[in-house]
Structure 1
Amino acid sequence: MGTIRSFEDYQEQYKKSIEDPEAFWATIAGEFQWRKKWNKVLEWDFHKPEVKWFIGGKLNITENCIDRHLPQRAKQTAIIWEPNNPKDEALHITYQQLSEEVGKTANMLKAQGVKKGDRVCVYLPMIPQLAYTLLACARIGAVHSVVFAGFSAKSLIDRITDAGSTIVVTADGGFRGDKTINLKGIVDEALEKCPDVSRVIVYEHTKTKAPMKVGRDLWWHEEIKKVNAQCPAEEMDAEDLLFILYTSGSTGKPKGMVHTCGGYMVYTNYTFRTAFNYEEGQVYWCTADIGWITGHSYILYGPLSAGATTVMFEGVPSWPDWGRFWQAIERHKINIFYTAPTAIRSLEKAPISFVESHDLSSLKVLGTVGEPINEEAWNWYDKNIGKGKCPIIDTWWQTETGGFMISPIAHATKLKPAFATLPLPGVQPAVMNESGLEIKGNNIEGRLTIKFPWPSMARTIYGDHQRFKDTYFSTFPGKYFTGDGCKRDEDGYYRITGRVDDIIIVSGHNLGTAEIESAITEHKNVVETAVVGFPHDIKGQAVYAFVILHDKPGNDETLRGEIRETVSKIIGPIAKPDKIQFVSGLPKTRSGKIMRRILRKVAEGDTANLGDTSTLLDPAVVDEIKAGAL
């Protein structure tokens, strides 16, 4: 099943993909089940920007993820659901069972009036019904918009309103370690501001009390009994919307990234099989939540379209103890394990006995996702989890890209700790300087762009194509700007050096500084704030907030707690600042622009290298900030 077996094979495939991209992708797309073949492989113009793949092609992605596998693998496990509590039995869902559950869920949505093109907001924990709902939407041509079940009511309001969703699928609650989250209560709070939502389907999971609004709210278990499992797949155009997924924007308003059916299917399948060198029959576990792009592409669509066995995990790595991941690997004989550097750094700090007490010999390939992995964590992962025998696939990609872009290929690419290594076939990177010129050759550093389209790239920001153009295609006209800096070493290997825009990557998740600042200023005692990221041993980056107050409090810690709670309520716990420094002013230029460069240096503890502060409106502010640094 894997597509590249050696480095020479990679070089040959890469060369083909660059010299004739259309022929390269057409060959791969030809492996899938299409209702009607495309008329043309690609049309593109990065200046508009506009990209279309497999033009005129007709398909349904669920026929490729489920139906085409049934003749050979109806009894094979499609999804292993590992519940929050390890004492509970794991669920093994076969491809036949998946087909039936998706059919019933699709018919349940249709019975509530959901049709092709409608947007369905999905706010569910990591339970099988989350997978069923997404595939059911795709089955009937509805557009799913998943909101991570750790986000607040305010985040839910923004996403429901922007997408124009009129139906929400949720649960009474979700488990997270020893905590229960009242999801239905969060939905109810959000829907006070979303009058257009006419239906809420609620899955009973935690037995949390869930008041039901008559005429709007329905129990999943009651509605699913009313339908059968036969649901024909809607014929979709290759460029029809498959899903909208929101990612943090630097303006504070989340960006609804639009992904379409054909190219996304082809690319996620190809990159899953290629990067991990997936082999028939292997058991694969990505520990992400389906609320993020990683879960969409590499828990559901990529693995299922490849006929793999994919694991969904409801729990957390630290509960009931720090051996949870290793216990699950042993229990399910996992062959490919894909997780975040944040998780690895947390697990590294736990006693090694948690690892040593489990049999990890089934592992063949390891992977990392969400942020660049640091060398120390890479070496720990390699030695203790891979036992020096498993290649580590350090994948660089984004919500916007839909799939892996720069990544080693298991058993083919020579690895370097902390390097994403080389672009996958079909990916054409260009490193730019600040003047907008491409820097050629190796041993260079600059800003990472992509100069040619790939099938799974986002097509637009939902409802705001101008913002899509301004955000990704205006900094370097004619190229997609990733927002990341990078180094290219003497071997042509890429190392991602982090964001160069106003995005902080906390535990692998993008958070816009403007969004966090907006939340902090909701506190009645806050006048103004500026937020930056700073290095964190576990999370990679954490949030440092510089806050100007109306009144100096009697108790700083009480106020810090209130501010954190405000952020948690408006965005979600993931965005809470680790450090909050109260200041009388912020370093601003005479035109009023905050000099974040100075604040980043203070947050990083590098106050000796603040650079020139003479252009500031009030340079004395910097001395005060330095003196009060946390």
Structure 2
Amino acid sequence: MDKTLLEHPLVPPTDPLRATAPVSEAEAARLLALDPPAYWLEIARELAWDTPPTVALEGELGSFRYYPGATGNVSVNCLDRHPPERTALLYEREDGLREEWTYGELMDGAARFAAALQDLGVERGDRVAICLGNVPEAFVAIHACYRIGAIYSVIFAGFSASAVRDRLEDARPKVVVCTDATLRRGKVVPLKATLDEAMAGLDIQNVIVARRVDREFALREGEHDFHTLLERTTRRAAPVSLEANEPSFIIYTSGTTSKPKGLVHAGLGFLAGAYANVKWALNLRPDDVYWCTADVGWLAFPIFALVGGLAHGATHVIYEGSIDTPTPARPYEIIERYGVTKVFTAPTALRMLRRAGDAALGGHDLGTLGLVSLVGEPLDPETWHWTRDSLGAGRVFVNNTYGQTETGTAWSSSMVGLTPTRPGSCGHPLPGYRAWVVREDGTGAAPGELGALTLTAPFPCLARTVWGDHDRYVRTYLADFPGSYAASDAALLDADGQLWVTGRLDDVMNVAGHRLGTMELEAALLTHPAVSEAAVVARPDDVRGAVPVAFVVPRAGVQPGADLEEELADAIVRGVGPFARPARVIVVPTVPRTRSGKIMRRLLRDLLVTGEAGGDLTSLENPDALEVVRARLAGS
């Protein structure tokens, strides 16, 4: 890895964040030094329980139980224990529709919707599929499931009918909750029509439709209107006391195989992890106005909004639609309108704002904003500095984090207000986690040495199994380095303990004896003023083992050409070294990406090597990008 990235000075917390830190620096150091089970018992004392835990951990990876015998309810921790008059949600839709919900209204809605689900025959352990976007009904429906012990599964609203059907067939829900439609970039996206196609021939007993775009949307026989059902249900379901390890939700993650994995998380274990994650990565307080830009179908939203966020009692801004519609100034308008103090987003969203130019910032008062935290993919230092200096006018702290759907938290992060960060890094492992970077033979890598990222001890929010296929869980996560969870990501820990995740292990390339991750090559490209986004993949080479090939999305107004491609290749040479010069630089108007904005590098690699995009495509938002890239490859 380019050593200059590791030599950036550590950036300390800002004074306002330091002044409101949740603990002292000495206490933070003590927590970091605690054995994970002791730490997680301390975190448990900050939550509400029916039967508090007395034992932290039983068993080991693959069969562990955290807080065995302890009981409680997630919804109580997120809704009931906060002042009912406090504002919980400030909802805004792309077309300007706005709603405001208090904690009391959310609790009442969740309790009545839980009773309605019970009246429809939903019992503890039954599955409920949630096909909703970022709407208040998602909070109501999900916390209704938590309240009665139903296992929910959020199905991303942008999936095709085939992808939705795969998930319905796997989870076999008793009830599906959806909206008639959603809005995206000024267009109506018909979610219910997609669901109807997906459900054809499936035995699903009840469908509940929240009519949000078309209030007169026609329901089929036997279907229920969400709001009518809620209004007619006067009974409020009491929260069920659940054991800490009972399964609470299924979330599907895709990869190189055709069948998505239904990861199962325990309810109260996930609550403990999400609550602690928000405490350190955001230091979210009841007086914060906070915006998590993630989609409800991406696990960042349950961690940092639905569960971890609400558990801290802050006011949440919820936005439905594309954040750059109708103009790139929309995010700045939202921050200014609501007085947002903290934002949780993805590096891709920041690169999108940076690409649009600083003119959109003009005239907007963002003085309330003090923290931008991130997760999702590697963050290049250029975007880190733009976020602090341009977006944040030098006063915000930029906290890049790292986590996975499987880990249930962004477990590497700065402890906001307490520990520093280094631009481009993912902070450091938080209390309760034990990370180890290893070589291919399983021995520990030296500081600054690229290797495979592993976690060596269980923690409460780690996914417990793959729904219906525990053998697949063991093969996927526990077989490569016995005794450790394998993240399948390439990483290093620098001399200060900062974690750098450079990409998937499949993306690490060995170029003439040099091990390179995609992050450093892409960071070098992003220093060029013509570059908006960059993705680097490896192409097999008979002589050098592998050679890098770069895909670059230019900024607006930039014209592609041989001169630009040569300049971009030179940028990598300057940033990394002559040995890293890419075999090709391919300038394209778009690249395949997920709804959360992550570039799907494996599809670029497939197109480059075989000409076809293989594996699971269900998380792909823009299938047209495959043809664009394929045509560009053929033309060059």
TM-score (norm 1): 0.80
Select 1:474's aligned residue among 479, 485, 499.
479
AA of the residue aligned to 1:283? V
User: 1:35 deviation in Å?
Assistant: 1.0
The residue that corresponds to 1:541 in the other structure is: 599
Q: Is structure 2 residue 457 aligned with structure 1 residue 487?
A: no
Q: Distance in 2 between matches of 1:287 and 1:310?
A: 10
The residue that corresponds to 1:573 in the other structure is: 621
Q: Is structure 2 residue 460 aligned with structure 1 residue 402?
A: no
Q: Is structure 2 residue 39 aligned with structure 1 residue 34?
A: no
Q: Distance in 2 between matches of 1:340 and 1:323?
A: 17
Change (3 A) 1:329 1:24: same
AA of the residue aligned to 1:124? L
Change (3 A) 1:60 1:170: same
Matches within 5 A, 1:123-522: 123-193=131-201, 195-207=202-214, 210-215=217-222, 217-228=223-234, 230-439=236-445, 441-501=446-506
Contact 1:131 1:300 survives alignment (8 Å) = yes
Contact 2:285 2:313 survives alignment (8 Å) = no
Q: Secondary structure at the match of 2:429?
A: coil
Cα displacement string for residues 415-456 of structure 1 (whole angstroms, at most 9, x for unaligned residues): 2111012110111101111122222x4222111000011111
Q: Secondary structure at the match of 1:417?
A: coil
The residue that corresponds to 1:52 in the other structure is: 65
Select 2:29's aligned residue among 11, 22, 28.
11
Contact 1:567 1:573 survives alignment (8 Å) = no
Which piece of structure 1 moves more, 273-282 or 361-370?
A: 273-282
Q: Distance in 1 between matches of 2:175 and 2:413?
A: 38
Contact 2:258 2:616 survives alignment (8 Å) = no
Q: Secondary structure at the match of 1:444?
A: coil
The residue that corresponds to 1:43 in the other structure is: 58
User: 1:249 deviation in Å?
Assistant: 3.2
- Runs of 4+ with deviation above 6 angstroms: 502-505, 580-583
User: 1:574 deviation in Å?
Assistant: 4.2
Q: Distance in 2 between matches of 1:31 and 1:582?
A: 53
Identity percentage over the alignment? Answer: 32
Contact 1:3 1:273 survives alignment (8 Å) = no
User: 1:197 deviation in Å?
Assistant: 0.7
Q: Secondary structure at the match of 1:546?
A: helix
AA of the residue aligned to 1:212? L
Q: Distance in 1 between matches of 2:129 and 2:207?
A: 10
Change (3 A) 1:571 1:407: closer
Q: CA RMSD in A?
A: 2.8
Contact 1:344 1:377 survives alignment (8 Å) = yes
User: 1:14 deviation in Å?
Assistant: 0.3
The residue that corresponds to 2:571 in the other structure is: none
Which piece of structure 1 moves more, 387-396 or 409-418?
A: 409-418
Contact 2:442 2:481 survives alignment (8 Å) = yes
Contact 2:421 2:498 survives alignment (8 Å) = no
Q: Secondary structure at the match of 2:428?
A: coil
Gaps of 5+ in 2: 1-18, 509-517, 520-536, 538-547, 554-589, 591-596
Cα displacement string for residues 464-504 of structure 1 (whole angstroms, at most 9, x for unaligned residues): 10000000000111100001101222222111100114899
AA of the residue aligned to 1:85? D
Gaps of 5+ in 1: 506-512, 514-531, 550-559, 584-602, 604-624
AA of the residue aligned to 2:57? L
Change (3 A) 1:339 1:213: same
Change (3 A) 1:182 1:582: closer
Q: Distance in 1 between matches of 2:384 and 2:232?
A: 51
User: 1:3 deviation in Å?
Assistant: 6.3
AA of the residue aligned to 1:68? R
AA of the residue aligned to 2:599? Q
Contact 2:109 2:230 survives alignment (8 Å) = no
TM-score (norm 2): 0.79
The residue that corresponds to 2:87 in the other structure is: 77
Q: Distance in 2 between matches of 1:6 and 1:392?
A: 20
Contact 1:407 1:422 survives alignment (8 Å) = yes
The residue that corresponds to 2:104 in the other structure is: 96
User: 1:125 deviation in Å?
Assistant: 2.0
User: 1:380 deviation in Å?
Assistant: 0.8
AA of the residue aligned to 2:86? Q
Q: Secondary structure at the match of 2:59?
A: strand
Contact 1:245 1:256 survives alignment (8 Å) = yes
Contact 2:252 2:262 survives alignment (8 Å) = yes
The residue that corresponds to 1:553 in the other structure is: none
AA of the residue aligned to 2:449? I
Which piece of structure 1 moves more, 405-414 or 356-365?
A: 405-414
AA of the residue aligned to 1:231? A
AA of the residue aligned to 1:167? V
User: 1:338 deviation in Å?
Assistant: 1.1
Contact 2:114 2:236 survives alignment (8 Å) = no
User: 1:211 deviation in Å?
Assistant: 4.7
Q: Distance in 1 between matches of 2:228 and 2:342?
A: 38
User: 1:2 deviation in Å?
Assistant: 6.9
Q: Distance in 1 between matches of 2:109 and 2:440?
A: 52
Change (3 A) 1:59 1:305: same
Q: Distance in 2 between matches of 1:2 and 1:447?
A: 36
Change (3 A) 1:171 1:393: same
Q: Secondary structure at the match of 1:55?
A: coil
Q: Secondary structure at the match of 1:32?
A: coil
The residue that corresponds to 1:519 in the other structure is: none
User: 1:275 deviation in Å?
Assistant: 1.7
